[in-house]
A and B are shown apart, each in its own frame.
Chain A
Amino acid sequence: MTTLTETPTRPPADAPAQTGGRLVDLVLRARELSIAAALILLVVITTIANPQFLSAQGVEDIFLNASILVLLAVGQTMVVVTRNIDLSVGSVVGLVAFVTGDFASGTDRNVLLVLVVGMAIGTLCGLVNGLLVSFCRVPALVVTLGTLYVIQGIDYYLAHGEQISASDLPSSVLSLGNDAVLGVPYLPIITVAVMLAMGYYLRSYSSGREFYAIGSNPEAARLAGVPIRRRVLTAYLVSGLLAGLAGVLWLARFGTVVADAANGWELKVVSAVVVGGVAIVGGTGTVYGAALGALLITTIGSVLVVLKVNSFWQDAITGVLLLLAISVDRLLALRVTRALRVKSRTRRGRRRLNGNGSGGAHRAGRAEAAAPLPATKEGSARDEV
């Protein structure tokens, strides 16, 4: 016990930090607030430069454009929280948009049937990813990079350079993308409903919490009896399902679809999620943060157009934003860890003064185990959340 107190060991990766729980919580909430603040600042500045930006039409456009990205970001959050990644979503959206478009073109098919077909295709893609990652234990990055190209290849092969045109689509499909209820378009309604449901599930259900447990420490989660494989598979299924839904919404919104419709969107989605405070190493972040990140990235795109900045800058800015987000996260995490360390030291010191003999030493040892130790390379505050 006494030797432990002074030896700088590696931090127990997953020590529950009751001592600093509130502090960590505060930082994380500040994170979402800061994105919201950045978003508001951006909107205010742009509106001053060009009052047209905040017109009803402008706002509606932003929300319509953001809906699909937010939907994908919600699915991606589930995967990233478990310390995995799904890079195939862009390809899935493209494939589903084209296949369901082809399926509905020139027919009178019901929009619900189209939705079901789209989501089934998406879920199938998610199943392949999920089985490979969870049961074959293959690195998620590599697998989904591979399925990205396989799915994209299938999409191109089916499309053969042709495109779906809006004039062939049944009106029920097009109205899903363009009509509104009480002035609010369907797309944002669907997205917000999905987001709230997922947010509630991940926050309030014990199985939802297990996704976070897996991401923050897979080994500990396994020992705690979390069915890791099933949860990871579920995450991929949900991500695939939502990508399928997003594909149908894409079709409904744009009507005209070419095979490479959503090329490169996987990076946009991952950026949105990470900017929104979902750590790429898993274990932290909420779907609301991810949705805010997606909204921010979409808004930046619109702002560039309004301010007449070369739209080529958008990718570069997204990249910088992502790097900035992970860097700030990292620095904050280091600072929190350091603060917790100081806190636990002072508390321990006080206990030793008050405590009598072995009891005091015992408690000191417990405090040691409960508090995160020095911030080494791997130790980060989010591990303790």
Chain B
Amino acid sequence: MRFDPRGLLRWESAVILLLVVVFFGGAGISPDFANSDNLSFALGDLSEIALIALPMTLLVVCGQVDLSVASVLGLCSALTGALWDAGWALETIFVVVLVVGLVCGLVNGWLVTRLGLPSLAVTIGTMTLYRGLAYVVLGTEAISQFPQRYADLATQSVPGTPVPYPMALFALLALVTGVALHATGIGRSLFAIGSQEDAAYFAGIRVKRIKLVLFVISGLVAGFAGIVYTLRYGSARADNGLGLELTVIAAVLLGGIDFDGGKGTLGGVIAAVLLIGLLRNLLMLNDVSTEIQSIVTGLLLIVSVLTPRLIAVVRETRGRQRGPRPEAPAPAATS
């Protein structure tokens, strides 16, 4: 137990250190990297990943996972396009789409909490289902030409800063999430559920209700990310955000959240999200093909789960070696 806080601290500071290294290294490699236009673009490119990473962090801390987020994003994007094409007002569409996202999350949460199914199986199913529905709604069409006013809101920066509006919103939500996770009783109960669900239940934590709410929030945020994605690219398609769940989970795990739940901090996740954003931007600036980018993301994911395990294994063996050593001289002394 005594190892844990120090180890985590080290893990997160390693991520932050890596972030700094990548930032200055990138500035050294590529002259276009460190100017505010490019950074603003790099941040904007992260919008959906960053937004979805917040509820995903809470879910993983709880020992759950939501693989359907990218499909909810696609469904909401397709729905936005289809309704816009049908002549609805964009404001109405937003409300409808957010409700759909919420319902998607509710279905996940209901299946997990009421039927007691593993979230992994449930969200693999709904991942297929929601993406399928996205195709049912929009087929292979692409709807574009959304009003400039809203497109600007998704792409422009807050005046005077290089931070685009969606990322400003992310900063605000991250603050709220961070406080909720690390400074309130609810946050503590999330960690409790993640480390020992039964114990948490017997300690009077409303495990099912909390999980349900988290899945609903996850769906809602994914739906909102769908709107942001649509407006940012100015294009509504059923395959929008395909595979995005991987990057989100990579960010969460790289940020030091244990996949088995109960450990980690939001600060680490935020640093990891930024790190992934900078890396992707750097690869893009250096004309590295998207194939390599997909390899890098995959490797990053593997490394981010592999490293903590390896550290744990090394510690274990070291502990085992250290353990017997003090005992070894003891019999010699007595005899």
**Could you tell me which residues of chain B, from 226 to 267, have a CB within 8 Å of some CB in chain A?**
243, 246, 249-250, 253, 259-260
- Point out the residues of chain A lying under 8 angstroms from B310, CB to CB: 136
Q: Which of A14-22, A306-314, A364-372 contacts B (4 or more CB under 8 A)?
A: A306-314
A143 touches B305 (CB 8 A): yes
- Whether, in the assembled complex, B168 has its beta carbon less than 8 Å from a beta carbon of chain A, the answer is no
Q: Compute the total of residue contacts between A and B using a CB distance below 8 Å.
A: 145
Q: Is A145 close to B, CB under 8 A? A: yes
Which residues of B from 96 to 122 have beta carbons under 8 Å from A? 111, 115-118, 120-122
Segment touching A, from B5-13, B81-89, B216-224, B287-295: B287-295
Q: Counting chain A CB atoms within 10 Å of each CB, which of B65, B302, B313 scores highest?
A: B302
Cβ-based interface call for A112 (8 A): no
In the complex, B133 has a CB within 8 A of chain A: yes
Which B residues are CB-close (under 8 A) to A318? 128-129, 132
Q: Are A314 and B132 in contact (CB under 8 A)?
A: yes
Instruction: Decide yes or no whether A322 CB sits under 8 A from chain B.
Output: yes
- Tell me the residues in window 132-154 of chain A with beta carbons closer than 8 Å to chain B beta carbons: 132, 136-139, 141-143, 145-150, 152-154
* Chain A residue at smallest Cβ distance from B198: A10
Residue of B nearest to A150 (CB): B298
Q: Which of B136, B197, B291 contacts A310 (CB 8 A)?
A: B136
Tell me if A312 and B139 are in contact (CB < 8 A): yes
A41 to B127 alpha-carbon distance, docked (Å) = 27
Interface residues of A in 269-283 (CB under 8 A from B): 270-271, 274, 280-281
Q: A132-B302, A145-B246, A150-B302 are in contact. Are A312 and B292 (CB under 8 A)?
A: no
Given A270-B124, A281-B118, A326-B121, do A153 and B291 touch, yes or no (CB 8 Å)?
yes
Report A-chain residues with C-beta under 8 Å of the C-beta of B249.
142, 145
Report yes or no: A330 in contact with B116, Cβ–Cβ below 8 A: yes
Determine if B305 and A330 form an interchain contact, defined as CB atoms under 8 angstroms apart. no
CB distance from B17 to the nearest CB of A (A): 23
Query: Is there an interface contact between B294 and A149, defined as CB atoms closer than 8 Å?
Result: yes
Check: B51 CB closer than 8 A to any chain A CB. no
Are A146 and B301 within 8 A (Cβ)? yes
Q: Are B120 and A280 in contact (CB under 8 A)?
A: yes
Q: Flag if B295 contacts A136 (CB, 8 Å).
A: no
- Asked if A63 is at the interface of the complex by the 8 Å CB criterion, the answer is no
By the criterion CB–CB under 8 Å, are B305 and A319 in contact? no
Also in contact, A312 and B132, with CB within 8 A (given A149-B243, A323-B111, A323-B122): yes
> Distance (Å) between the CB of A146 and the closest chain B CB?
4
A277 to chain B, nearest CB (A): 13
A320 interfacial contact with B, CB 8 Å? yes
Residue B309 at the chain A interface, CB threshold 8 Å: yes
Complex contacts, B117 vs chain A, CB 8 Å: 326-327, 330
User: In this assembly, does B299 line the interface, its C-beta being within 8 Å of a C-beta of chain A?
Assistant: yes
A108 contacts the other chain (CB 8 A)? no
Q: Are B298 and A148 in contact (CB under 8 A)?
A: yes
| Smallest CB gap from A10: residue in B | B198
Contacts of A156 in B (CB 8 A): 290-291, 294
Nearest Cβ on chain A to B192's Cβ, whole angstroms: 15
Give every chain A residue within 8 A of B165 (Cβ-Cβ). none
The answer to whether A205 has its CB under 8 Å from any CB of chain B is: no
Tell me whether A219 is interfacial, beta carbon within 8 Å.
no
| B306 and A132 contacting across the interface, CB-CB below 8 Å | yes
Closest partner residue, chain A, to B299 (CB atom): A150
Interface membership of A267, Cβ < 8 A: yes
Residues of chain A within 8 A of B301, CB atoms compared = 142, 145-146, 149
Q: Does B215 contact A (CB under 8 A)?
A: no
Q: Kindly report which residue of chain A lies nearest to residue B108, judged by CB atoms.
A: A323
Interface centre among B121, B133, B306 (most CB of A within 10 A): B121
Q: Is the CB of B243 within 8 A of A327?
A: no
Q: Is A138 a contact of B302 with CB atoms below 8 Å?
A: yes
Tell me the bound Cα distance from A149 to B247 in angstroms.
10
Assuming the contacts A132-B306, A138-B305, A153-B294, asked whether A315 and B131 have C-beta atoms less than 8 A apart, the reply is yes
- Residue B135 interfacial (CB < 8 Å): yes
Note all chain A residues with C-beta closer than 8 A to B289: 157
What are 12 A-B residue pairs whose CB atoms fall within 8 Å in the complex?
A138-B306, A139-B260, A141-B65, A153-B295, A154-B291, A154-B295, A156-B290, A157-B291, A274-B121, A280-B121, A310-B136, A312-B132
B residues neighboring A (CB under 8 Å): 65, 111, 115-118, 120-122, 124-133, 135-136, 139, 197-198, 201, 243, 246, 249-250, 253, 259-260, 289-295, 297-299, 301-302, 305-306, 309-310, 313
A residues lining the B interface (CB < 8 Å): 10, 85, 132, 136-139, 141-143, 145-150, 152-154, 156-157, 267, 270-271, 274, 280-281, 310, 312-320, 322-323, 326-327, 330-331, 376-378
